[in-house]
Structure 1
């Protein structure tokens, strides 16, 4: 990973790159901010300012996996859980005082029925989903030991702490503090065993899903937006050697948002 200028260091003025989603309000914000603060390319930037919603933030982080450049998001989209509030004033000061959140992606190795393997990286979750009206049948192995011989379900996912408030939460999985160093293994509409609600795993665990009856019950695997159809086996593990940095306004850190979400009505 390339070294980046710490925007919080005294006397520094970080070089900013502005990127935006296709939404008109995001594009308008990019033009306004670029005119006011200047702008460089993403390769030259010390900090990338991402304008849009959570989807735009994920795209920006994925695009900068190898650079490791810190990203400061501002909401010009809809949900914006991963974004700061939008304001044109005092941007350099906000970045200088921002709190850092470091996340590590999951790697998905997905084997097709022919034996071909495709690899994807996920910041939120790796999910397996049934492709037809037939329920999926999955065998789940953790660190080489079979833990669930047969799960009949609509699907199953492995979520990072950063992704625990996304699809994982909608599937009734646990919200995980960012510094917990664990992953959530969460079933999606489990039919058998009906009472199984998932598990919390060490961040170093290696998860293997085997698709049972793949011809009758085809399953797809998705790492964030990267999908592989008709998989036979999927391995999931954390890439500790890759890290991404999100910047949040002082007092509005990601941990604070996760805590507040647990008390939301």
Structure 2
């Protein structure tokens, strides 16, 4: 069993990293069977993001002392192989944004928690939103929009008043950010096959950026948001951790 260990730059995580590598060895990411992320939720999410465009690798996250790490297993040097073999895999949906910028450049970014379109200045942004290829786009104004996975639904989305989604469900949250006026769907639950086409109105004067946990693309003209059909992300969780996470999010479907 080959393992790649990744760690937060914080001293406690770096110290643990040295101990794990000394005991279990260190494999390259391409040759590894598992990735172990040491730190907290941010480290786990960065590891998942880093693996999205390569061969799928399950991530076993462990939290260091002082980290909240609600997505992480307890830090323990012994019995790592057995813990990973007996851990429960949690397959996570991956969001995709195909983005066109003002200069015509095109890029694709991915997200585990949420993709957020947000204004770059104090003035409101305006969007034309088309759902699943509909012929009548809705024009909305406000600070932005967020498309959110079940895993991300208890974070930033909840601070916006968005709905909490059960882990394992085929659902996404579409949450408006200070929309004026508020549209009926500004806190909506949608199926994970939805395709959102978003055009920024007057992007030169009302600039908008796309954000994920690890990436920001400024000055966008339009974006197509959906669930990725080819990227996969898998967490490996101890049963006790999964039970706690499920209790917080809701029953796995």
- TM-score for both structures, normalised by structure 1: 0.86
Residue 63 (structure 2) aligns with: 75
Residues 242-265 of structure 1, C-alpha deviations (whole Å, 9 max, x = no match): 212110002321x74143256xxx
Residue 43 (structure 1) aligns with: 30
Residue 43 (structure 2) aligns with: 56
| Structure 1 position 159 matched with structure 2 position 148 | yes
> What is the CA RMSD across the aligned residues, in angstroms?
2.1
Q: Name the SS for the 1:62 alignment partner.
A: helix
| Structure 1 position 259 matched with structure 2 position 247 | yes
Query: Structure 1 stretches (4+) deviating beyond 4 angstroms?
Result: none
Q: Which runs of 5+ in 1 are unaligned?
A: 1-13
Deviation at 1:146, TM superposition (A): 6.0
1:145-184 aligned at under 5 Å gives the runs: 145=134, 149-184=138-173
Residue 8 (structure 1) aligns with: none
Deviation at 1:205, TM superposition (A): 1.0
Q: Which moved more, 1:177-186 or 1:77-86?
A: 77-86
Q: Name the SS for the 1:221 alignment partner.
A: strand
Q: Which runs of 5+ in 2 are unaligned?
A: none
Q: Name the SS for the 1:217 alignment partner.
A: coil
Measure the CA separation in 1 of the matches of 2:116 and 2:241.
Answer: 29
Q: Name the SS for the 2:152 alignment partner.
A: coil
Measure the CA separation in 1 of the matches of 2:180 and 2:75.
Answer: 43
Contact 2:92 2:233 survives alignment (8 Å): yes
Q: Name the SS for the 1:180 alignment partner.
A: coil
| Structure 1 position 122 matched with structure 2 position 111 | yes
1:212-227 aligned at under 5 Å gives the runs: 212-227=201-216
- TM-score for both structures, normalised by structure 2: 0.90
